[in-house]
Amino acid sequence: MSNLSVDHLLGIKYLKKSDIDLIFKTADNFKKIINQPIKKVPSLRDITIANLFFENSTRTKLSFELAEKRLSADVINFSSASSSVKKGETLLDTVNNILAMKVDIVVMRHPNPGASVFLSRNIDAKIVNAGDGAHEHPTQALLDAYSIREKYGEVEGKKVVIIGDILHSRVALSNIYCLQKLGAEVKVCGPSSLIPKHLDTLGVTHFSDLKKALEWCDVANVLRIQLERQDVNYFPSLREYSMVYGVNKEVLDSLQQEITIMHPGPINRGVELSSDVADSKHAIILDQVENGVAIRMAVLYLLAGKIKNN
């Protein structure tokens, strides 16, 4: 099979395992391409992609834009900070105005969960969700799982713990769906105030002790504390959080086995991850960034294959 079962990438929830395998296989090829002397391929010539970022982003936006340019697509960028959204325009109006400029694919980040699903039902373009509120961030989960596959050869049977602010994290939810579909075992770790109530319905259990979590896992995916999303105080202070849940060299050295550390970035150095861990050989954080471009190229390529020209 060489076609995705979906027309849009709205969330990992909607993908089949065969879709994820196809994206990974395609990304393997793109990873080779982006390590060639000339990294640009003409696959998406004449395709126009709009990057609509209604919420701040640096690395996801750069990664998407680079992937689009390496595929030779025409790219337009939009960020809400400097737009008519501030003047009261609705999402649908904004997007329809952009689509009137003949855009084929929309990559969107939006603060409201479900914004990309809403868009996919109302407009005629392929949608890639680049993060919608605390709902999903599918390309991040794909690149995380892809990085685990690259490190260990496969994802199946691996034990992955996601540490930190699970409540506000779209990365955590997408990661849980993706890793479980690929046959990995997923648990979370963090203060109970930052663990969503109904997580057990996804078959995910919770460690409150960091050391126990790290002893159990092969891979620890450490999330950023998202202070900007926290409307009330979920823990007494950053310093206290760091003392209890911060991953540092001391705790890693005390483990029986060597584990892999991942982080979706940006890192709050000294809060969830200490500098000596972030820069150590345990961390595959920069591999994640490189793989992000290959994964996004694969997703855009496969979705563009669903656009019919005539």
Q: Closest CB to other proteins among 32 and 211? A: 32
Continuous segment of H or E residues that includes residue 216 = helix 210-216
Q: How far is the CB of 295 from other proteins (least distance, A)?
A: 15
Q: Closest CB to other proteins among 33 and 202? A: 33
Please select the residue that binds other proteins; options are 5, 18, 29, 77, rule is CB under 8 A.
Answer: 29
CB environment 176-185: b (16+ within 10 A), e (fewer): bbbbbbbebb
Q: Closest CB to other proteins among 46 and 200? A: 46
Q: How far is the CB of 4 from other proteins (least distance, A)?
A: 9
Cα–Cα distance for residue pair 129/173, rounded to 1 Å: 14
Please select the residue that binds other proteins; options are 15, 20, 23, 26, rule is CB under 8 A.
Answer: 26
Structure tokens at 34: 């982006």
Q: What is the dihedral of CA 82, 122, 68, 42, to 10 degrees?
A: -140
Name the amino acid, one letter, at 225.
I
Please select the residue that binds other proteins; options are 37, 88, 153, 236, rule is CB under 8 A.
Answer: 37
CB environment 81-96: b (16+ within 10 A), e (fewer): eeeebeeeeebeebbe
124 contributes a contact to other proteins by CB under 8 A: no
Q: CB count, 10 Å around CB of 97?
A: 11
Q: Closest CB to other proteins among 30 and 207? A: 30
Site for other proteins in 268-307 (CB under 8 A): 301-302, 304-305, 307
Q: What residues line the site for other proteins (CB under 8 A)?
A: 1-3, 25-26, 29-30, 32-33, 36-45, 47, 71, 301-302, 304-305, 307-310
